[in-house]
Amino acid sequence: MVATLYINGLWREASDGGSHDVQSPHDQSVVATVSQASQTDVLDAIAAARASFDSGVFTSWSFKERSELVAKIADLLERDADVIARKESDDTGKRFIEAQYDVADVVATFRHFASLGAKEHGRSVDVGIAHVSSRIVHEPLGVASLIGPWNYPLLQIAWKVAPALAAGCSFIIKPSELTPQSAIALTKIIEEAGTPKGVANLILGPGSVVGSSLISDPRVDLVSFTGGLTTGQTIMKAAATTIKKLALELGGKNPHIIFADADLDAAIDNAVTAAFLHSGQVCSAGTRLIVERSVHDRVVTEIVHRAGKIKLGGPNDESAETGPLISKSHLANVSTYVEKAIAEGATLLIGGERSDKAEHAKGWYFLPTVFDNCTSDMSCVQDESFGPIMTVEIFDTEAQAIAIGNDTVFGLSGGLWSGDSQKCARVASALRHGTIWVNDFGPYRPAAEWGGYKQSGIGRELGEHGLGEYLEIKHIWTNNAPSRSGWFKDL
């Protein structure tokens, strides 16, 4: 039996004894066995979070005290970085070194929110009356369900946990059932750092089973979710009944525009990274390449050449450059996406199938894939594949490049390459996406807000706004010289 649920300050087994084997996407070996929560466990976790919040055990801490806790968690994460990175790499199949980068980003996230929380909060408002003091204060929002995806499991949960703690919320963490180990490690550290019992709770299990109460229970005030568009829509509907606050980080179909006057060598290299890093399992992957006609042939030829040389391999293969897809069912989805693209008339230039190498036989390895002759009306251009698939479209004018880049229901991120700084400024301003990279693609920092326009989400994580998602704003008006209002006739 395994006791990997954390509820009200105690590690416990599932109440019905349920457990789940976590399989490596590299070779299907079992890398861990974890508890699988029952509905009773979910309700217990929500009750614990609610009770701890309402008791004031954590909300009574000052911002400064909570910031010290968040900073301590950053230190402990740094201490255990390699152990946690190993678990992350086992669960996701990503290379150990990539998981190490992820954990370093997680530490930076906790440090960012520690420093933000330590700042002065609230402000005075001049209401123009000498005997009235008017204060805007920030208070912890309440109980939050924090639901994360499998592609960057610890990082995406950290973007939620760190501000929730800095703000003084109580919460229930729910990682993807495919990748639970790093959330267990983080919860152990939250406990070790001295977080009051009931504040942090951990529920494991498939979203379709354990998710329902987390998104609809009236005792939950906020759902902060990172995942796919369809699940986001389910959450919005469920949350409507009790008007929960929502923070949604959903998918993206991110345009990557290359103008003919760009540094083409750098642009091509970054285009390959943007599309094939982590085998395309990145919400901000630059999988929609939009190239100026005059340089199309050179750009596409070089990308295809480089895509064919990318080395696939498992967590322990030091020569590997990217790893497997997360699961058999995800591989099936990506394969279906390819079949559809071919049926719609896109030209397959390379890849489009599973790797046939013997060492990949037990894993979910998919070859880097490039489709040319794509147009905006094709589903392969509009839908997120979340796999290593690049589609290529052509433009002739700046206005066309912008129109194509905005022709999507998503709006998470985009990039553009040009040697003309005025053109860069115009296009960056015209693209309706939450992050725009100019002559770059991919970097982010915890101090800068992250999130999507349109159907890529609601709200922002990171930056200052990322803390604001977990705070209520209260206006306190104090009249220091009380008098009658005099509005109605004398009684």
Active site residues: 249, 283
- CB-nearer residue toward ligand NDP: 190 or 247: 247
- CB-nearer residue toward ligand NDP: 33 or 294: 33
Query: What number of chain residues touch ligand NDP (CB under 6 A)?
Result: 33
Please give the C-alpha separations between residue 404 and each of 260, 272, 276, 430, 455, in angstroms, as whole numbers.
16, 20, 21, 11, 17
In angstroms, the CA 165 to CA 467 distance is 9
- Using the contact rule CB under 6 A, the part of the chain among 14-22, 205-213, 309-317, 391-399 near ligand NDP is 205-213
- Using the contact rule CB under 6 A, the part of the chain among 246-254, 267-275, 310-318, 395-403 near ligand NDP is 246-254
Binding track over 283-302 against ligand NDP, x by CB under 6 A: x-------------------
Residues facing residue 20 across a β-bridge: 34
Q: In 3-state terms, what secondary structure has residue 352?
A: coil
Q: Which of 117, 140, 211, 468 binds ligand NDP (CB under 6 A)?
A: 211
Nearest distance from residue 237's CB to ligand NDP, in Å? 10
Interaction residues for ligand NDP, span 174-193 (CB under 6 A):
174-178
Interaction residues for ligand NDP, span 118-177 (CB under 6 A):
147-152, 156, 174-177
Determine, following the binding rule CB under 6 A, whether residue 469 of this chain makes contact with ligand NDP. no
Q: In 3-state terms, what secondary structure has residue 189?
A: helix
Binding track over 400-439 against ligand NDP, x by CB under 6 A: ------------x---------------------------
Sign of the CA dihedral with 115 first, then 120, 121, and 126 last? negative
CA dihedral angle for residue 308, residue 309, residue 312, residue 318, rounded to 10 degrees? -170
Are the C-beta atoms of residues 88 and 151 closer than 8 Å to each other?
no
Are the C-beta atoms of residues 116 and 72 closer than 8 Å to each other?
no
- The H or E element spanning position 124 is strand 123-125
- CB-nearer residue toward ligand NDP: 177 or 221: 177
Nearest distance from residue 448's CB to ligand NDP, in Å? 13
- CB-nearer residue toward ligand NDP: 59 or 281: 281
In angstroms, the CA 21 to CA 192 distance is 26
Picking from 338, 349, 325, 347, the residue whose alpha carbon sits closest to that of residue 380 is: 338
- Site residues (vs ligand NDP, CB under 6 A): 147-152, 156, 174-178, 206-208, 211, 214-215, 226-228, 231, 234, 249-252, 283, 384, 386, 412, 452, 457
